[in-house]
């Protein structure tokens, strides 16, 4: 694993950023314009993934970092559930659903792998200058 000096170096955060960008792109489509509740909730879930990875990194300790990563992983599952709602409501196509679901799944897998790594590593959190 390469050296992680800032949260932007974390592969799971990078994928979460890609996921959030795609969620925003899709939810800017006209089909989502009037469904404020779902649009806002699915965006919040995507933002939560990125934000919790970053916040956990900044906390400075493995235990807290793992806790925040667990919240981020939960937000991935929340987002995946909301994708079903978007599909069933006709806001996204089956192809968009598959692409977004797969990206979310990859993000969740990266987070899970990172949790496993941190659980057994000597990493002690962000170093403050």
In this structure, the dihedral spanned by the alpha carbons of residues 23, 97, 108 and 41, taken in order and rounded to 10 degrees, is: 50
Is 129 a domain residue? no
Is 37 a domain residue? yes
Is 2 a domain residue? no
Is 126 a domain residue? no
- Residue 109: CATH number of its domain: 1.20.1440.60
Tokens 């800032």, residue located: 6
Round the average pLDDT of the chain to a whole number and report it. 92
- The CA–CA distances, whole Å, from 55 to 30, 67, 76, 101 equal 33, 10, 16, 24
The pTM assigned to this predicted structure is 0.90
Angle, CA 61 vertex, CA 55 and CA 62 arms, to 5° = 95
Number of domain units in the chain: 1
Report the candidate in 84, 19, 15, 65 with the shortest Cα–Cα distance to residue 46.
19
Residue-wise pLDDT for 74-102, tens only, equals 999 999 999 999 999 999 999 999 999 99
Is 3 a domain residue? no
Is 24 a domain residue? yes
Q: Which domain holds residue 41?
A: 8-120
């Amino acid at each position: 694993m390469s050296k992680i000096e800032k949260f932007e170096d974390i592969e799971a955060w990078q994928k979460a950023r890609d996921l959030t960008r795609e969620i925003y792109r899709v939810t800017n489509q006209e089909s989502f314009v009037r469904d404020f509740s779902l649009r806002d909730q699915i965006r919040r879930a995507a933002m939560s993934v990125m934000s919790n990875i970053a916040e956990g990194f900044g906390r400075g300790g493995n235990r807290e970092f793992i806790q925040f990563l667990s919240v981020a992983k939960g937000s991935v599952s929340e987002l995946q559930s909301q994708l079903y709602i978007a599909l069933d409501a006709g806001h996204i196509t089956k192809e968009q659903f598959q692409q977004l679901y797969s990206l979310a799944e990859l993000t969740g897998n990266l987070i899970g792998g990172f949790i496993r790594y941190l659980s057994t590593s000597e990493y002690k959190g962000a170093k403050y200058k």
